[in-house]
Structure 1
Amino acid sequence: MVDINARRRRAGRVVAGLLAVDGLAHVYWATGLTWPAPDQRALSLAVIGAVVPFTPRVVVPLALVLFGAATAVLAGAYGRGGWVARLVSFGVAAGLLVRGLVGLAWAFGAGEGAGPVFHWLNLLLYTPLCLGFGWLAATRLVTLRARNVLGLPLAHALAHARHRPDRVDPLLEEFPRDR
């Protein structure tokens, strides 16, 4: 039997994994440790590009949001969680894509003053991860109707450019109401 949802489930596991790893980093920072930076100020400048406190009061709620989002994305990828999981998946895709686009603006000089560490981390790590995982979430986890709201009406066509007429498209066949 062919699993027509395999790509969506795999994408859900990957995106949820990224969110969970980010959540674990926030839990780690909540302990007061600052690796890979020598102190909280350097960590803040490297991660955010501005000086903000990395106290448990700040990072624990962020970690909880990331773990909750990871759970909802994973549930949605497996057809569980209903509209809440779909809404969270939409929010994750939109948030990652917006962060990626803002990262491109920063990479091309907007928001100068964040420092060279943030500039290079943004250019080589944050922006590519956000754009790649945002695109993955938008094309694999978000329904067609929501993609049009997200501004990706062509995402489905681009993601399935190698469409074969003899194969069933799971995104169209599983959710016919979204056409």
Structure 2
Amino acid sequence: MNPEPLRLAVVIASVRKDRVGPSVGRWFLGRADAAGFRDVDIIDLAGLNLPDDLAGGGDSELFTKRIDSADAVVLVTPEYNRGYPGALKTAIDTALPEWRAMPIGFVSYGGVSGGLRAVEQLRSVFAELHTVTMQATVGLPYVWDQFDDTGDLREPSRANSAATTLLRQLTWWGHILRDARTAAPYNG
């Protein structure tokens, strides 16, 4: 197994004004750092111009290169109306071949379900793209009550435990799939 540290991309999926995604992302980055991930690329979709028509241009090439250079990806996504954000769908469809044989983790948030309905939809999308989605997820129900004024979780034990499990799974799959893609590129 290649001992090089894994390159992790963390995608902040919400682009709405007054979004909580950056706070959730900052918390998760702390957990990733504690787990030994030092090479982390934070991809905030609110700061990218990804054309809805998928015809390229804007930041499409930059985004696809960042996904392609990752060994594992974590999506920090809200649940909007029992689904995931449209900006995330555009991002996913912008980088089609770059997703192949990529381990994908989910940190979701929202109301009562903690974003899990969005995650279940994303699992179907990513199965079509030949990724490996992690069994463990991090879900933050009633997210607006979860963080204090400084951006820290009020009661972090359950979320921290879920993040530790997710990162452990990403580490294993990240190494295995990186080695496999190096040995023989995946063509589907």
Q: Same fold (TM over 0.5)?
A: no
**TM-score between both structures, scaled by the size of structure 2:** 0.29
More strand by share: 2
Q: TM-score, normalised by structure 1?
A: 0.30
Q: Please tell me whether Structure 1 or Structure 2 has the larger radius of gyration of its CA atoms.
A: 1
